[in-house]
Amino acid sequence: MSAPLGVGVIGSGPVTQAIHLPTLATLTDRLRVRHVMDVDAGVAEEVAARTRARASTTVEALLADPEVEVVAICSPHGFHAEQVEAACAAGKRAVLCEKPLAVDEAGRERIIAASRGAGVPVIVGTMHAYDPAVVAVAAEWGDLPDTARLVRSVVVLPPNDLFVGLATELRSAPPPPPRAGGGDAAALADGILGLATHDLPLVRRFVPTVDAVEVARVLRPWGYEITYRGDGRTVQLLATFHGGWRPDWSLEVWGDGCELRIDFTPSYVLAGSATATLRTAAGERRWRTAENGYQAEWRHLADVATGAAEPAVSVEEAAADLRYALTVNEGAQRLLEAA
């Protein structure tokens, strides 16, 4: 059996500490964390110590480490494009970039060019697309993508801190100062690119174009309500955080004679796959497994990095998913401006 691939992690915030490190700890036969980078030296050192990895404060040091074979980019969104470029230029075997892939068209194009030019596969951390239950139901939903009439994505969760506290003892640098300006426009963009982007790649399978955004509202204290139409179909996106303990993260699709519902587990908890339910005239079928989307995605990345598999989602397709999210955001921003 070959040795586990060495992983280098850029950015050591809550997503790294509460999601990626616990996930990788379940896959040590395939992947081992060898290097952790963060601009805060104390955070980098403490998080690295949890996996007996090296710590550094620069991307350059991490990419120069010969034991780092694959790179996970878990930094703030605005750094993704340049860090993917650097990882590809360093000749790493594969890159996992957290969502969103980039924050604009220019970054999207830079990442495509870097991946193609260096021949380094780039996989985006849209874990719901890799969830074993989603993959299983997709093989069985037949013509639902052709007959879908209404798609609804709902994300109603307690604040992330509650789940992070369950998953890890968070070590973090002091919070940055409040961002000046932006208001509702910035909050809506953050919601679409930071949260809705989890499910928009799946939504795009049923509604491949965005013709018109009809509703765009920011919910208090945090959240969004968006309705748009495409190909004569309707999509509703609803998200909010609340103080209770009953999470609801679901995707529903209604078509001619077929109904799909997928109930996702919270990202910060290793609680198995989603539960996918497909209802037709023939009855109801349901799928659920012990492995979640993050575990399946990391396992797939290991296969891609070793040449055992081709990427299930190419960088071009991931870039098309980003363009779709950017189009939703652009339409929503126009409505806010006109209000």
96: nearest Cα among 84, 106, 85, 108: 84
The pLDDT tens digits for 182-204 are: 689 999 999 999 999 999 999 99
Per-residue CA distances from 173 to 2, 88, 178, 184, 244 (Å):
37, 28, 15, 26, 27
How high is the pLDDT of residue 160? Answer: 56
Task: Give percent above pLDDT 90 in the chain.
Answer: 85
How high is the pLDDT of residue 174? Answer: 47
Rg, the chain, Cα only? 20
Q: Is the pLDDT of residue 179 over 50?
A: no
- 3-class secondary-structure state, position 147: helix
| Structural domain boundaries in the chain | 5-126+297-312, 129-291+323-338
**Interatomic CA distance for residues 151 and 237, integer angstroms:** 9
**Interatomic CA distance for residues 266 and 274, integer angstroms:** 9
Contact 334, 205 (CB under 8 A): no
69: nearest Cα among 168, 2, 116: 2
- List beta partners, residue 237: 153, 226
The mean pLDDT value for 146-173 works out to 73
The pLDDT tens digits for 109-154 are: 999 999 999 999 999 999 999 999 999 999 999 999 999 999 999 9
Contact 334, 215 (CB under 8 A): no
For tokens 């036969």, the residue is 29
**Interatomic CA distance for residues 174 and 177, integer angstroms:** 9
Among the residue ranges 116-130, 150-164, 221-235, the one predicted with the least confidence is 150-164
The CATH number assigned to the domain with range 5-126+297-312 reads 3.40.50.720
The mean pLDDT value for 87-114 works out to 97
Alpha-carbon torsion, ordered 12, 14, 15, 19, to 10 deg: 110
DSSP one-letter string for 160-217: HHHHHHHH-----PPPPPPPPS-HHHHHHHHHHHHTGGGTHHHHHHH-----EEEEEE
How high is the pLDDT of residue 180? Answer: 43
Contact 95, 88 (CB under 8 A): yes
Task: Give percent above pLDDT 70 in the chain.
Answer: 92
Q: In the structure encoding, which two tokens stand for residue 79, read together?
A: 């750094």
217: nearest Cα among 245, 243, 247, 239: 239
DSSP one-letter string for 44-92: HHHHHHTTT-EEES-HHHHHH-TT--EEEE-S-GGGHHHHHHHHHHTT-
Q: Is the pLDDT of residue 44 over 90?
A: yes
The count of C-alpha atoms lying within 13 angstroms of the C-alpha of 236, restricted to the half-sphere facing its C-beta, is: 11
304: nearest Cα among 314, 294, 317: 314
**Interatomic CA distance for residues 71 and 80, integer angstroms:** 12
How high is the pLDDT of residue 177? Answer: 44
pTM of the predicted model over 0.85? yes
Contact 263, 131 (CB under 8 A): no
The pLDDT tens digits for 316-336 are: 999 999 999 999 999 999 999
The CATH number assigned to the domain with range 129-291+323-338 reads 3.30.360.10
The pLDDT tens digits for 268-282 are: 778 899 999 999 999
How high is the pLDDT of residue 339? Answer: 78
Q: Is the pLDDT of residue 60 over 80?
A: yes
pLDDT, mean over the chain: 92
How high is the pLDDT of residue 1? Answer: 62
How high is the pLDDT of residue 45? Answer: 97
